[in-house]
Chains A and B, each alone.
Chain A
Amino acid sequence: MNWPEDFLETPAFDLVARAMARAAQARMIGTMVSHYRIEECLGAGGMGVVYRARDTRLQRNVALKFLPEAWAADREARAAAALNHPNICTIHEIGEHDGRPFIAMELLEGQTLKQRLGAGAGAGALGLREVIEIASQVADALEAAHAKGIIHRDIKPGNIFITTGGVVKVLDFGIAVMADSPDSHARAAIGTRPYMSPEQLQGRAVDARTDVFSLGVVIQQMAGPPPGTTAFDRILERCLANDPAARFGSAGELRAALHGLRELTFVLANFERRLLERLARRVPRRIRPNHFTALGMVGAAGSGLAYALARYNPAWLWVASVLLAIHWLGDSLDGTLARVRGAERPKYGFYLDHVMGALSVVCVGLGIGFSGYVSLSLALAAVAGYMALAVNVYLESSVFGVARVEYGRIGPTEARLVLVVVNTVLALGVRPTVRVANWTLVIVLAGMVLVFVWRLARNLSRLNKLEPQR
């Protein structure tokens, strides 16, 4: 007989109370609350029970959350309800039903960060890239709220929602004031203590920097054991300083620092981002991000072909340059477009991006190899080396949570620019460039082999260290 370990460990009083809670939840199904028809209990969490409900007036599905009876909408809660930001869960209405306050809000599909961390493979730590992605979106939300004078006060994984499309939504803005409620039950169960800033714990006045502290704790929890990037550690230090004055002054500063981490590879990052955002705003609505992904692929395949044709006529090098620019446009604009529109990225956007990136490198690399300007075997070796590195990076980000940002400061944009310059020089007939290009390729190849061997050795030794713990 398979008895659970905790047989009789939960007091009967508690079992009965839970059964009553379940029964009360079940009774709610089908009832009308204001003009909402309760359809399903989505679960309890954060501040109260959440139901899926049908708004019978506007004929849409919403999430309905009941709050503790003592809760009353104050100025801040009403201001929070007016917040409109892609990373903040939209509040439709604050109401009351039978003396119980409720909030009708945007119905989200996905899971909370708490669930994500709980369901995560292994130690529950996320890859650095994902940590940065989630944290920047939360910081974005905080910045918008702080600008309106709203402090969240209860930033924790349970209040951070990740939709199936990967967009992060911060929940419960403006209602966390209850955390200090006189109700002893509520106080007894505040599981958010580890996320509270020192000034909050001591009951002193809090400002935006208390949210920066809490987000720092969340970042630390997401990343797990320190990933060993000094830039990352510095960011954490500046979030978790005991003295608010030593922290980032605002969520915006934190976000900028996180972005800096994400884009270490891009020397031209800031200029490029501004340019792309300006372009993205002019794109007609019927053109979707995926169309640009496809355009990028066409650009890559086309430039590969143009390079190969340059063997017969150097004029094709001009074509290759133009197609490289198109490749850049498609490759970079898809993500920017999604961000500018606040739309959810396609479900497999992240992976698609990686696969497309690898395919593009293969196309262009092979094209260059067949152009006759550089040695074919060198070009093939470089393509093979790139693939080996890419697989290695993928393993690192999935197994060890190390992001590719550590590889260097030359990103795809810089690489494309160098190619365009070389194309131009070659097309103009400057022959010595061929030798320079070949030698550069030799050096790049040697560098790739060195990095690959070094990283592989490091990964293998880490893998050895991981093994005994299983």
Chain B
Amino acid sequence: MAEEPAKDITRLLHAWSQGDDGALASLMPLVYDELHRSAHFHMAREAPDNTLQTTALVNEVYLRLVGGQPVPVNDRAHFFAVCATMMRRILIDVARGRRSLKRGGTAEHLPLDDAILVSNTPRVDLLDLDEALTSLAAVDRRQARVIELRFFGGLSVAETAEALHVSPETVQRDWRLAREWLMHELA
């Protein structure tokens, strides 16, 4: 882990966004370690009750992925956007309980029935949401991207706006509409 050069992350992300799936396999253990850290953190403390705090946490994960090195300012939006897509892929893999991409030994098996519920009432899990989001992308690509960046990527409204080159108001509106659409679809 330690010898994994931090600047490689940006390169791997880039390679993956260019279609190199092997790059994702290299990224996975890094994210997985971060998930572990975060899980430990949740075990150790009462769950933070405000979302701002958790959003900051995910951002911190990205910064840790690049080893504390500054993300180039002009690249920041792009970096976060690619991170969000990567997060979606990896988190869905974890939710499926797929071990293929994981390092052996540390593989965790999550009980699928109650794991990773997006909503308790009605019961919706991450996999259903992922499918619904794919359907949404066919209807409105940008709305689906907003959900991906904010929910899977943990980006704030401002960061999402920056990544999509639209105004924060547009992000807010897309977020609201997409949420409505997904609720309807998943109900």
Binding site for B on A (CB under 8 A): 1-4, 6-26, 44-45, 47-49, 66, 68, 158, 184-186, 188-189, 191
Contacts and interface: CB of A to CB of B under 8 A. Distances in A.
Interface in B21-54: 35-48, 51, 53-54
Interface stretch (B4-12, B119-127, B164-172): B119-127
A26 B60 CA distance: 27
Contacts of B41: 17, 185-186, 189
Max count, chain B CB within 10 A of own CB: residue among A9, A10, A20: A20
Nearest to B155: A11
B35 A20 contact: yes
Interface of B: 35-48, 51, 53-58, 60-61, 87-88, 91, 94-95, 108-111, 114-122, 126, 147, 150-154, 179, 182-183, 187
Contacts of A6: 51
Given A68-B44, A189-B45, A13 B179 contact: no
A49 to B, nearest CB: 5
Contacts of B53: 188-189
Nearest to A25: B43
Contact of A20 (B56, B108, B153): B108
Given A3-B121, A10-B51, A13-B154, 18 more contacts: A2-B121, A2-B122, A7-B119, A8-B179, A11-B150, A11-B153, A13-B57, A14-B58, A16-B94, A16-B126, A17-B35, A20-B39, A23-B110, A44-B45, A44-B46, A68-B44, A184-B60, A188-B60
Contacts, number: 141
Nearest to A2: B121
A189 B53 CA distance: 8
28 contacts: A1-B183, A1-B187, A3-B187, A4-B119, A7-B118, A7-B119, A8-B182, A9-B51, A10-B54, A11-B58, A11-B150, A11-B153, A13-B58, A14-B57, A14-B154, A16-B95, A16-B126, A17-B38, A17-B41, A17-B42, A18-B42, A25-B43, A48-B43, A68-B40, A186-B41, A189-B48, A189-B53, A191-B45
Contacts of A191: 45-46
B57 A20 contact: no
A15 B56 contact: no
Nearest to B126: A12
B120 A23 contact: no
A112 B57 CA distance: 27
A25 B47 CA distance: 14
B55 A45 contact: no
Contacts of B35: 13, 16-17, 20
Contacts of A9: 51
A19 B116 contact: yes
A113 to B, nearest CB: 14
B63 to A, nearest CB: 10
A440 to B, nearest CB: 58
A10 B58 CA distance: 11
B115 A19 contact: yes
A44 B44 CA distance: 6
A12 B88 contact: yes
Contacts of B40: 21, 68, 185
Contact of B61 (A7, A13, A49): A13
B68 to A, nearest CB: 10
A11 B119 contact: no
Contacts of A19: 110, 114-117
A373 B22 CA distance: 102
A15 B87 contact: no
Contacts of B179: 7-8
A49 B61 CA distance: 23
B39 A18 contact: yes
Nearest to A23: B110
A465 B119 CA distance: 39
Max count, chain B CB within 10 A of own CB: residue among A3, A9, A12, A184: A12
B183 A48 contact: no
B83 to A, nearest CB: 10
A191 to B, nearest CB: 8
A16 B116 contact: yes
A396 B48 CA distance: 35
